Amino acid sequence: MRRAISLVPRGTRPTASAVNSIVKNSPSFIMQNKDLLQILDLIDAGEVVPDLGIYSDLVRLCANCRLQEHARLVHAHFQRSHFTADVFLNNSFINMYCKCGAMAEAQQIFDGMLERDMVSWTALISGYSTSATPEKAISLFPRMLAGGFFPNAYTLASLVKACGAMANGPPVCTLHCFSVKYGLNSSVFVGSAMVDVYARQGRTDEARKLFLSLPAKNEVSWNALIAGFSREGDVDSAMESFVEMQRSSGFFKASHYTYSSMFVACARIGSLEQGKWVHAHLVKSGCTFTIFLGNTLLAMYAKSGAMDDARKLFQRLRNKDLVSWNTILTACAQHGLGREAGNLLKKMIEGGRRPNEVTFLAVLTASSRCGLLEQGEEFFKMMGNYEIAPRAEHYATMVDLLARAGLLLRAESFISEMPIKPTAAVWGALLGACRMHKNWKLGELAAMRALELDPLDSGVHMLLYNLYACCGRWAEAAGVRKKMKELGVKKEPACSWVEVGNSVHVFVADDDSHPQREEIQRLWQRLHEKIKDLGYAPDVDHVLLFMDEGERENRLQSHSERMALAFALLNLPPSAPIRIKKNIRVCGDCHVAFKLVSGVLNRDIIVRDTNRFHHFRSGGCSCGDYW
């Protein structure tokens, strides 16, 4: 508040109105504890004659700062003064404490009030609705009605929010009945809150139904609905609503919030075409390009496999923040661009930006995916310079890096020296590398440790099964399957997605129901003959069933990624790149087949699995077979 004092002419006593106007103009974030103390000291020293207006302004400032100690200070000072609070000021105190998350104090003031009005009830209900105890908001409601007060739209919207935040709260539809009863059902405020709650609970069907029935809609209701679809990864519905929003409501423009929801949705399923369309729409709209929006756009390009577009956008982004850097570095990790990640990290540090644990996880993963052992070790050490304690994920990535480079024993001793308890993921990383290097003894040990921590982890069981199978230890492999059956461990069904035209098609392994099933099979047979000439021999290790060779070969042909590839080949224009997404790791045999197909047909094929991207081109893959 130094500014406050200098604004008062020298030698004159600052008046209440002078301080008052300064408090009003002072942006809340520059208000420090000591400034507040100074004002209170000025009052104590009699240099400022306080009035209720000053207290009211201070209370409002504290509510904006959301700092409990400020709130308590001002309140205590007021209690020592000769003033008594009227309803208006008491309501401000309740609001201030609610904003600062001090619900006990808010309740105390409320309880001590001799006279309460609608605002008092609504302030407290609203406070509880976003607190850790939303049920208290609900329990206040009948008391409020009993006291002869009717809810307004704000009260009802808060109650809806509270319902949404409770695990076993009353259904939101009961509040809908109240809104009808009190004539608030046409309030866009209440309607939007209800749509938002349904959408956040993942009940997008109900959100949509309610949304359609709303007599009035605004940006908030549209955005609540679109964000709900986006969170569920339902791009088609998000897109439909987005288009509908533009068409039906001439004066509601999509905001940066809407666009970022759209990019998040497209990124979720890796839908590049739709993402690009939304990007073009954004450019035309003239909507303010915030860094938050830029980061979601960046993630959309990166997660849809369009690394070139992501790079270009990243270079153009002004005011890059930590999230922008972490997004591009995570993209490098997913695309297996270890050196690029290393260079970017150096640039980031040179530019004066401080990396955090997400940054390091990204560069370590990128290093591990390319087998850049030295770089990975350097970055792992560097974490200490920034006083970042590695978490289990960082250790798991280091184990992965060491073990995949063939240093299995070093990886094992690295685990034994970890200062934190190794997680199942750490042991899983060792197990995965043991499968790669066909070391079943160490792999067995790693699997046992991982299963001690999580006996039902189907991934570990499957890896162990695969490890035994590829080492020819069929008896042990059979033992794993038996164990899985006993424990009821189920393998996650493999799924692949591919974008053709404006829709995304899903393929499930061994699914016979696809309408183009026969064409897909015929195409694979033809491709199979072609790549067999190039030396392709089906690697039946990757078929996890006991059956004869011929049958195992057939099984490979119905892997979901193969069906998706054939479907795309049948339905996409001849030179269009093919982008496939898979929910588990791409299998080794499909990897070999895809490389050959990319050469034979001269087609770019991009597969995103749970671990990374594979760019197949001219008979090779961007991962260099190191994955």
When asked if residue 614 is in the footprint of Zn ion (CB under 5 A), the reply is yes
Nearer to Zn ion, 204 or 611 (CB): 611
Our CB check for Zn ion shows the closer of 176 and 435 to be 435
Distance spanning both ends of the chain, measured CA to CA: 59
Torsion over CA: 220, 221, 223, 228 (sign): positive
Q: 241 vs 560, which CB is nearer to Zn ion?
A: 560
CB 207 within 8 A of CB 232: no
621: contact with Zn ion by CB under 5 A: yes
Minimum gap (Å) between residue 605 Cβ and Zn ion:
10
CB of 598 to Zn ion, least distance (A): 10
Task: Name the residue nearer to Zn ion (CB basis): 447 or 607.
Answer: 607
Answer left, alpha or beta for residue 222, where phi above 0 means left and psi between -120 and 50 means alpha.
alpha
Of 29-37, 73-81, 398-406, 609-617, the window that binds Zn ion (rule: CB under 5 A) is: 609-617
Nearer to Zn ion, 75 or 614 (CB): 614
CB of 565 to Zn ion, least distance (A): 10
The residue among 150 and 546 lying less far from Zn ion, judged by its C-beta, is 546
Question: Chain-centre distance of CA 167, in angstroms?
Answer: 21
User: Considering beta carbons, is residue 295 or 557 the nearer one to Zn ion?
Assistant: 557
List of long-range contacts for 552-557, beta carbons under 8 Å, 24+ apart: 555/510, 556/589, 556/590, 557/521, 557/524, 557/528
96 binds Zn ion (CB under 5 A): no
SS3 611: coil
Residue among 415 and 568 whose Cβ is closer to Zn ion: 568
Minimum CB separation of residue 491 from Zn ion in Å reads 14
Cα separation, 346 vs 49, whole angstroms:
57
What is the rounded CA–CA span in Å between residue 596 and residue 407? 30
Closer residue to Zn ion (CB): 62 or 469: 469
# binding residues, Zn ion (CB under 5 A): 6
The reply on whether position 449 binds Zn ion by CB under 5 A is: no
x-marked contacts with Zn ion along 523-562 as a string, rule CB under 5 A: ------------------------------------x---
Question: d(Cα 136, Cα 412) in Å, to the nearest integer?
Answer: 52
For helices 307-316 and 322-334, what crossing angle results, to 10°? 160
What is the smallest separation between the CB atom of 569 and Zn ion, expressed in angstroms?
16
303/612 with CB nearer Zn ion: 612
Residue 215: in which H helix or E strand, if any?
none
Nearest residue (CB) to Zn ion, 42 versus 623: 623
Query: Strand pairing partners for 578?
Result: 605
Q: Output the smallest distance, CB 330 to Zn ion, in A.
A: 18
Instruction: Count the helix, strand and coil residues of the chain and give each as a percent rounded to the nearest 5.
Output: 65, 5, 30
Strand partners, 580: 498, 607
Per CB under 5 A, which region of 16-24, 105-113, 124-132, 617-625 contacts Zn ion? Answer: 617-625
* Nearest residue (CB) to Zn ion, 559 versus 581: 559
Radius of gyration of the chain (CA): 31
Q: What is the closest distance, in whole angstroms, from the C-beta atom of residue 303 to Zn ion in the complex?
A: 17
- Report whether 108 contacts 77 (CB < 8 A): no
Residues 6+ apart with CB under 8 A from 389: 383
Q: How far apart are CA 13 and CA 15, in angstroms?
A: 6
User: Contact 356/385 with Cβ under 8 angstroms?
Assistant: no
Minimum distance from CB of 389 to Zn ion (Å)? 33
User: What residues from 462 to 501 belong to the interface with Zn ion (CB under 5 A)?
Assistant: none
Q: Considering the rule CB under 5 A, would residue 299 count as an interface residue with Zn ion?
A: no
The sheet that has 503-508: what strands, in order across it? 503-508, 495-500, 578-582, 605-608, 613-617, 620-621
* Beta-carbon contacts of residue 417 (< 8 Å; ≥ 6 apart): none
Looking at 65-73, 399-407, 511-519, 619-627, which segment touches Zn ion (CB under 5 A)? 619-627
Contact positions with Zn ion (CB under 5 A) in 575-604: 587, 590
Measuring CA to CA, how many Å separate 414 from each of 403, 433, 464? 10, 14, 21
Report d(CA 228, CA 195) in Å as an integer.
9
Q: From the list 140, 446, 578, 623, which residue makes contact with Zn ion (rule: CB under 5 A)?
A: 623
Closest contact distance (angstroms) between CB of 297 and Zn ion is: 26
Residue 335 C-beta: closest distance to Zn ion, Å: 11
CB of 26 to Zn ion, least distance (A): 58
Which range, of 319-327, 417-425, 508-516, 606-614, touches Zn ion by CB under 5 A?
A: 606-614
Write down the H helix ranges in 287-372.
291-303, 307-316, 322-334, 338-350, 357-370
The residues that bridge with 581 in the sheet, in sequence order, are: 497, 608
How many residues in total does the chain contain?
A: 627
Query: Closest separation between CB of residue 568 and Zn ion, Å?
Result: 16
Closest separation in Å from C-beta 542 to Zn ion? 6
The residue among 140 and 556 lying less far from Zn ion, judged by its C-beta, is 556
**Residues engaged in binding Zn ion (CB under 5 A):** 559, 587, 590, 614, 621, 623
